[in-house]
Amino acid sequence: MLSVRDVSKNCGKGRRTVPVLQNVSLSVDSGGFCALTGPSGSGKTTLMNLIGLLDRPTDGNIEIGGTAVEHLTVDQTAELRNRVIGFVFQSFHLLTRYTALENVALPLLYRGVSKVERRNMAITALHKVGLADRMTHRPEELSGGQRQRVAIARALVGDPALLLADEPTGNLDSRTADEVFSLFLKLNVEHGLTVIIVTHDPTIAARCPRRVVMRDGQIVDDDSSVPKRVVSA
């Protein structure tokens, strides 16, 4: 599903150039579940942005679903991102004037999907995250956990192969965070969705089947030795 080979990312120019990532390599199989963790400034979000095709590396190669991305045009990159990748962020980024159903259906508008099909696909996505009874509610009428579930449904509505979540439980209390994370595990197990989560929360990281630890722009540990009981949803 994902292959990152010798990727580096620099910021700035000339003498002010700062290496953010240094020769990072990472592979995630289809159906994998991986946490990117480490201290603030370790390069987690930068790597996530490169994997999500929101930025380009200074050096190295990235393949997603067998497609090498370094030579893609801007339009080709956007098409691949829209077709293959779903995003979930710490801030929910929901439009307050829209219902949950309308928020979830919105990405399909840019694909040219018909109104009837958009609605049906959005309903299916909301069922997957357990919000079938909240479709007509607006964000202010939902709890924090419910808002994040809407955001997850929006990420799922296009049927992506890869789900990227950047601190998805960062704005939630511990109980709600546990419920949302359990949903990620369920989606991974029941639907075969490949999931990569950026998290600084050691409790969340400990429940992931694979933990990749970053520090100073490099991967310093790659641990997949998590007991089975930890990863159950």
With H, G, I as helix, E, B as strand and everything else as coil, classify residue 39. Answer: coil
CA distance linking residue 83 with residue 91, whole number of Å: 22
CA distance linking residue 61 with residue 40, whole number of Å: 25
CA distance linking residue 121 with residue 207, whole number of Å: 30
Q: What residues have CB less than 8 Å from 214, skipping those under 6 apart?
A: 36, 37, 38, 42, 43, 44, 47, 220
In the predicted model, what is the mean pLDDT of residues 190-211? 90
Comparing CA positions, the residue from 56, 35, 73, 68 lying closest to residue 163 is: 35
Q: Are strands 85-89 and 18-28 parallel, antiparallel or unpaired?
A: unpaired
CA distance linking residue 38 with residue 42, whole number of Å: 6
CA distance linking residue 6 with residue 137, whole number of Å: 46
Comparing CA positions, the residue from 151, 128, 129, 130 lying closest to residue 139 is: 151
In the predicted model, what is the mean pLDDT of residues 55-82? 91
CA distance linking residue 105 with residue 59, whole number of Å: 36
Q: Is the pLDDT of residue 5 over 80?
A: yes
Q: Percent of the chain at pLDDT above 70?
A: 96
Look at residue 89 in the predicted model and tell me its pLDDT.
Answer: 87
What pTM was estimated for this model as a whole? 0.87
End-to-end CA distance of the chain: 23
pLDDT tens digits, one per residue of 156-186: 998 999 999 999 988 888 888 898 899 999 9
Checking 121-125 for CB contacts under 8 A at 24+ apart, the result is 121/157, 122/153, 122/157, 124/157, 125/153, 125/154, 125/156, 125/157
Radius of gyration of the chain (CA): 18
Q: Which range has the worst mean pLDDT, 11-25, 48-62, 65-79, 206-220? A: 11-25
CATH code matching the domain that covers 2-231, chosen among 3.40.50.920, 3.40.50.300, 2.30.30.110, 3.30.200.20: 3.40.50.300
Look at residue 188 in the predicted model and tell me its pLDDT.
Answer: 92
CA distance linking residue 38 with residue 35, whole number of Å: 10
Of 137 and 224, which is predicted with more confidence? 137
pLDDT tens digits, one per residue of 115-146: 999 999 999 999 999 999 999 999 999 999 99
Q: Is the pLDDT of residue 94 over 60?
A: yes
Q: Is the pLDDT of residue 62 over 50?
A: yes
